[in-house]
Structure 1
Amino acid sequence: MKKYSFSLYTFIVVFLLGLLSCDVAFAQKKKKKRKKKAKDTMVVSIEEPSKKDLRKAEELFVYAVNEYLLEEYNQAIELLDKCNKLNPKDDGIKYQTALAYNKLQIYQKSNQYAKRALELDPDNKYYYKLVAQNFEMLSLYKDALGVLEKQIEVTGDDEEAYFQIAMLYLQMGAPRSAIEYFDIGEEKYGINDVIVRQKQRIYIRLGDLDAALNEGEKLINAYPDELEFKYSQVRLLLGNNKTDEAVEILEPILKNHPNEGTVHFLLANIYRNRGESEKYYEELKVAFSCDDTLTDESYNILNGYLQFTYNDKKRQEAEELINIALESHPNDDRILSLNADFLVSQKQYDPARTFYLKSLKKNPNNFKLWKQVISIDWELQQFDSVEVHSDLAIEYFPNQPILYLYSGTAKISKEDYEEAVVMFNQGLTVVVDPSLKTDFNAQLGDAYYKLDEVQKAFNKYDEVLKVDPVNVYVLNNYAYFLSLRKEKLEKAEEMSHQTILAEPENDTFLDTYGWVLFVKGDYEKSAIHLKKAADISQSATVIEHYGDVLYKLGKVDEAVDQWKKAKEIGGEVSDHLEEKINQKKYVE
């Protein structure tokens, strides 16, 4: 009777495509029977699976691989368990099951299946690798070493295996053994820059600088046209105060590649280390004028200058270097944003915003820059821009609650209260910080009140005060709105009094407290606080309120003077201000 199982070919095709027909044949060479180890917990059926079971296993395996590719590993395992029962001797199913458990970081279980797959097909190097990986994740480094060494013995030389063995020795605290295996891999497969760099790090940790430099020299000799290898060697030399040797490498590069910015940056470092500040700065100007790609080190240099813009000389140098960099790299988003940072340091907010937006056009996935733009909008009190830029930023960062807060607040300023409510409620679905949640609820309270949904507004205020009972913003607004409605005036007075205790010179809080007292009919006490507010305020509302209480105290001429003053200031005043002035009397 012909034996059926997954072929490796079938497994690979199914894995890559994920959606194969269920007619894929199971065909693989017969495997030698092996005795089951005592420690194996898996049970293998003695009977050969039927053709019906094999077809069902194949069909389920296709779905299992699809789930795996979708990163639904638990669902994949459920299907693979059924596959294992239907076709218990197939190494491909075992391997796929091991992969799924590995992804879930259940390494013990993964290794049960990986080792069984390896027993079924001892010539498959990928099975060895997965077993070794699981051992490594379980910190069983010696076991992992044994598996990889066995893999090389059975399947032949493997560059990746030598590298993995070397890295295992490093984790075991045996750097010399690691180097030995790196050398074996290098001898068999040639010089590899990744391995050379790793060996250099090991030698430096061992305090053997000469050996590290020899490795770098070996790499340079193997790839004489690769400038980056020479630059790495120079950086290593400079880091160990071997300036003369570094210059020896740089001089021929400078001669043959005078427009290589990296050469000039490295020379600038040498001049800085020598204390030759003028030469350092001149070399930087040349470096930034070159058109090759800037490195993190280049941006760090400019950032460093921005820390000292309070110094006139440093400020002028920063401006010059940034302008040079902008000319040679006009589309570099980081240079554009650095120029914006510089302009902000000089309080040139409008042009700074322009450069931030240019940077974001090149790379919109920068949350920090969006915040900078919106902060400038807010600083300039341009709420239309706050709204536009917040809504744009939300498209890229939908899980950043502060953007919803900005957008909603801008909509309130534009009296678009319904949209503000929508935005605040969306923000509440992603907010985590409790203090930020109170900000959302406070603003929601204001928006609901403006929509005449008074109870919703007061509920939101109460929600804030439960967690933040001294939130002066909410206490003030809540008290003021109650006074306008002439409701719960004792509660309004108590809340408003808390605000002036917290900030006794705040004209808005003084005005609210005075107005609550006015509504209660306590005009003498009201006048004290409204006068204090009027003396320090430029708000027409505050001045008008002071005129109102003066009228109630019988000081009509003084009241009219205050009403006229409120009219001159302009802004938010009552609909009856003109009538008050003309009739010289208070109008409710």
Structure 2
Amino acid sequence: MKRNLYILLLFLCLSMLSRKHIYAQDLTPFADQNVDDLGDVSDEFQETFFEALKQKGIENYELAITALNRCIAMEPTQAILYFERGKNYEALKKNDLAEEDFLKTLSLKPNEEAVLEALYELYYKSKDYGKAENTVKQLIPFDSQYKEDLSRIYTATKRYDEALQLLDALDSEKGGDPYRDQLRDRIYTLSGNEKGRTDAIEKKIASNPTAEADYLKLIYLYSEQGETQKAYETALKLKEINPTAEEVNLALYKLYLDDGKTEDAILAMKNVLKSNRITPDAKHRVLNDFLLFANKNPQYEGALEEAILLFDSQVAGSKIYQELANYFISKGAKSKALPYLKKALENDPDNIEVIKKTLLLQLDTGAFQDAEEIAASALELYPSQPLLYLTYGVALNKQSKFKEAIDQLEIGIDYIIDDTRMESDFYQQLGDAYAGTGNVAKAQQYIDKANALKAQNNK
């Protein structure tokens, strides 16, 4: 029985630890305490403790606490009991009671890393950063990796310089680390310290001149900051290191475009769009940038359309398709815009704004059957949107499906709230639909209502 209890205690303690410390050190709270160290515990104690573990395992935390209370009544000096009860209180979000039990555990078993870690995590989650800072400083002597946690606290309390100093110290001690790089990026973003971000990457390149990823980060940063010459110089350095680096075209594209070397910029843009290494987001930014350029320089629309075909063959995204559609709409090329709206809708079928824009453009270009199908599907998602009923009704009227149009329009008009212009449109379409069925009197009644509202809106 005692051997089984020891195994369960060991498993329980391992489950308390964060993944970082299980993998880093295999530490367990009370690792030096086996069942014999608990003293001459009774069978009743062991059975009750097993019951507590079982209830916690099936998330019956209140019952687990009840069992632990009975154990504490029998063995009030066993630290593991308070620690385990604290974890159950934490699961119930009774943080004050959890804190009390963790502190009691430390009073019985001082300076236990796993207990300090649990206490730190409790404070951090509840945003009690003062207590969290004090606790994590007690953890750092166990493992300097806890400086990352202290850096998170400094970030949360806007002590950005101190946070960065800790990360730098860890890099010096342990070498670079992607997680710490992410923390740095977050700090620079929150603090708005773009110069610090740039300086840090320049420093990394100076210490490791062959790290391509750092050159790319620096190119992006310089480009975003409008430092096109520096971006270009960095791109050339990267090209020296790796002449086949496709990412260098990101910097070259913008520099060529700003310098008026448009043909070179177009070539660089195409290389970006063809690349398998450059991210879709980066491709999107380049294409969107060239779209804005072509809008001001229409002589390059042909190059834009070639770029769109390249992009379209590799990348799908509702946002860029909407931007392309808006571009062609602004040029009056509605027939060219419509396919991109349909693609935007395929990528984001629940987007009500894309649905509405697609429907209106379909009606405008005479794609009435397509509009009918999209409106019918959209109403399954948004049954109280009056514009969907209106566009549905228009599409049906245009196909001489007058009775179906009347059904949809009469349903939809009840959803209008304080929009007399839309109400007038509904009446006009109902008038057209009744006229189509041969009911001239009813048609005139609705047309008169539409005209009255139009006159009211024109005042």
Same fold (TM over 0.5): yes
Alignment of 1:140-539 (within 5 A): 140-153=128-141, 156-159=142-145, 161-196=146-181, 198-199=183-184, 209=195, 213=198, 215-220=200-205, 225-237=210-222, 246-255=231-240, 257=242, 260-272=245-257, 280-281=265-266, 283-307=268-292, 311=296, 314-327=297-310, 330-334=313-317, 337=321, 339-350=324-335, 352-358=337-343, 363-364=347-348, 367=351, 369-380=354-365, 382-389=367-374, 406=388, 410=392, 413=396, 446-447=410-411, 468=418, 472-473=423-424, 500-504=451-455
Tell me the equivalent position of 2:22. none
The answer to whether the 8 A contact 1:98-1:114 is kept is no
Cα drift, residue 77 of structure 1: 5.2
Residue in 1 that maps onto 2:58: 63
Name 1:567's counterpart in structure 2. none
**What secondary structure does 2:140 align onto?**
helix
Name stretches of at least 5 consecutive residues in structure 1 with no aligned partner.
16-26, 34-45, 65-75, 421-441, 448-459, 485-491, 507-588
Task: Give distance in 2, aligned partners of 1:116 and 1:445.
Answer: 70
Contact 1:14 1:62 in 2 (8 A): no
Counterpart amino acid of 2:215?
A: K
CA–CA distance in 1 between the matches of 2:221 and 2:426? 62
Structure whose alpha-carbon radius of gyration is higher: 1
Structure 2 Cα separation of the partners of residues 145 and 92 of structure 1: 23
Rate the CA distance shift 1:182–1:30 in 2: closer, same or farther, 3 A.
farther
Deviation of 1:378 after TM superposition, in Å, equals 4.0
Residue type of the partner of 2:135? V
Q: Residue type of the partner of 2:300?
A: E
CA distance in 2, matches of 1:49, 1:122: 28
Q: Between the two proteins, what is the percent identity of the paired residues? A: 15
Letter in structure 1 aligned against 2:139:
Q
Cα offset, 1:263, TM superposition: 1.1
Residues in 2 aligned to 1:475 and 1:371: alpha-carbon distance in whole angstroms: 16
Q: Distance in 1 between matches of 2:359 and 2:151?
A: 51
1:76-155 alignment, distance < 5 Å: 78=62, 81-82=65-66, 84-85=68-69, 89=81, 91-101=83-93, 108=96, 111-112=99-100, 115=103, 125=113, 127-153=115-141
Task: Give the aligned residue type for 2:34.
Answer: K
- Paired with 2:230 and 2:290, the residues of 1 have a C-alpha distance of 29
Larger relative helix fraction? 2
| 2:424–2:449 contact (8 Å) kept in structure 1 | no
Contact 1:386 1:406 survives alignment (8 Å): no
- Residue 29 of structure 1 corresponds to which residue in structure 2? 34
**How many residues align structurally?**
414
1:12 is displaced (CA, Å) by: 6.1
**CA–CA separation in structure 1 for the residues paired with 2:425 and 2:231:** 65
Residue 260 of structure 1: how far off its partner (Å): 4.0
Unaligned residue ranges in structure 2 (runs of 5+): 18-30, 73-80, 436-443
Secondary structure of 1:191 counterpart: coil
The verdict on how the C-alpha distance between 1:307 and 1:249 changes in structure 2, with shifts beyond 3 A counting, is closer
Q: Secondary structure at the match of 1:333?
A: coil
SS at match of 1:131: helix
2:324 touches 2:337 (CA, 8 Å); kept in 1?
A: yes
CA distance in 1, matches of 2:419, 2:355: 33
Distance 1:334 1:123, change over 3 A: same
What is the deviation of 1:59? Answer: 3.4
Paired residue secondary structure (2:176)? coil
Higher relative contact order (CA 8 A, sep 6+): 2
Aligned with 2:217: secondary structure?
helix
Q: Please tell me whether the aligned partners of residues 91 and 121 of structure 1 are also in contact (alpha carbons under 8 angstroms).
A: no
